[in-house]
Structure 1
Amino acid sequence: MELYLVRHGQSQANANHIMQGAKIDQPLTDKGRMQANETKEKLSGIQFDKIFVSPLKRASETAEIIVGSQVTVTFDPRLVEFDYGKWDGQRIEDLVANYPEYFKNASNFKNSWRVSGGETYEKAQKRLSNFMNSLGLDNNDQVLVVSHGMTIKLWLALLLNTNNPERIAEPENAEYTHFSFYHGIPILKAYSK
């Protein structure tokens, strides 16, 4: 299987530096639509067999730009963004000022759920693992997934078998990450292209 993970294009919340998790559902900006069109060009030579998309607007808009409205996509709630709890919708600079221990030391962020009431890394990775198991890795499918930055970051940590997701940078808006699976083993081919 060839798996292409695409982060959505810039959303209004991204442009306004708002923490945007599973509860914030804002559309793309003009820049975000342009980014999605650039990714469409990068992926234009690939005929996808399956397309899965987070049901949030920013992801569904990105997917429609990349594959068009005539292609069938499957919306899957397991692909939504990480849930930041009560931090969703707040200005990032305010969160950094009020909770520096979670933002100035990246290794502490995994414990932010204790304050934010949001999701744990383990819970997010469990839903992503469940999704991966439903794909069937030993096939020749070309699979496109349009999802979110933190979700993809945690997915990468899962696929690369690392317990330190904070060492992985989130992909940029509308960029893709490509994995090949050989006998179920993930091989990273491209990151944030």
Structure 2
Amino acid sequence: MDRKKIYLVRHGQTDFNLQGVVQGSGIDAPINATGRAQAQAFFDAYSDVEFDQIYHTGLIRTKQSIQAFIDRGTPTRALTELNEISWGDYEGTPMTPEEGEYYQHMLHQWQQGNLDYAIAGGESPNTVAKRMKRGIDIILNGPGKTILVCMHGRAMRIFLSLILNYNLKYMDQFGHSNLCLYLLDQLEDGSFSIKKFNDQNHLKDLRQPSE
């Protein structure tokens, strides 16, 4: 098996991100103008990297975020196993104070190790992890050494926990923002180390002076 170098990015901004609306796996929203600018900035910063293989989820916002790399003819595969967690009944709705309180309760359950706890109608971390493991196996046993993967925020946290052998109750330590980068290097023993953590340097020219 080839040792992998994985460039793991979150998708660019969508209007739902901007409006504070829950997306999850059930909302197939495209990236907006800011998301397209983020995608271009990422491409400009990493266009010299020769990716052997690209993966995105089954949702359009991840494919759009790395389309410039796909357009170069790099082999690309959609992996629905990497899709965002389902937020069930809360998908497509603004985060009200009451829903925010419920969301914090859910996060607390997960942080206490209750990883079978799911939001109403949605998936639990353990449910997502089962399919995520299948996606990771496909990537690790697939072609190429230098890999680009575009995912979603919560799914990325679960992906990183699994590939780095962390207990899922600690997944919130893996912060993320739209079009951030995690760079992972595979070591001789098959484990991975993080070379870049929630890196946003490629987006610095897009930030407002107050940020």
Match of 2:6 among 3, 28, 45: 3
CA displacement at 1:120 relative to structure 2: 1.2
In 1, the alpha carbon distance for the partners of 2:26 and 2:81 equals 14
Q: Which range moved further: 137-146 or 49-58? A: 137-146
Secondary structure of 1:27 counterpart: coil
Map Cα deviations across residues 130-185 of structure 1 (whole Å, 9 max, x no partner): 12222336986101111111111111111222222343244110111111111311
Match of 1:59 in 2: 62
**Match of residue 176, structure 1, among 170, 181, 189:** 181
Summarize the Cα distance change of 1:139–1:151 in structure 2 as closer, same or farther, 3 Å threshold. same
Matched residue count: 192
- Structure 1: any 5+ residue segments left out of the alignment? none
Comparing 138-147 and 12-21, the one that deviates more: 138-147
Correspondence 1:151 to 2:155: yes
Aligned residue type for 1:28? I
Q: What secondary structure does 1:91 align onto?
A: coil
Q: How far is 1:111 from its partner?
A: 5.7
**Match for residue 129 of structure 1 among 133, 139, 146:** 133
User: Equivalent residue for 1:186?
Assistant: 192
Q: Deviations over 1:33-52 (max 9, x none)?
A: 11111111222221000001
* 2:204 match: none
Residue 49 (structure 2) aligns with: 46
**Residues 83, 93 of structure 1: alpha-carbon distance in 2 compared, 3 angstrom cutoff:** same
My pick for the range that moved more, 121-130 or 66-75, is 66-75
Q: CA deviation at 1:66?
A: 4.2
Partner of 2:86: 83
1:186 and 1:98 mapped to 2: Cα distance?
A: 34
Secondary structure of the structure 1 residue equivalent to 2:86: coil
The answer to which of 37-46 and 134-143 deviates more is: 134-143
Return closer, same or farther for 1:82/1:170 CA change in 2, 3 Å cut-off. farther
Shift of 1:112: 4.9
Partner of 1:16: 19
Give aligned-pair identity as a percent. Answer: 23
**TM-score, scaled relative to structure 1:** 0.87
Paired with 2:79 and 2:152, the residues of 1 have a C-alpha distance of 13
Task: Answer whether contact 1:5 1:145 (CA < 8 A) is retained.
Answer: yes
SS of the residue 1:10 aligns to: coil
Q: Work out whether residues 150 and 170 of structure 1, in 8 Å CA contact, stay in contact via their aligned partners in 2.
A: no
Q: CA separation in 2, counterparts of 1:140 and 1:27?
A: 28
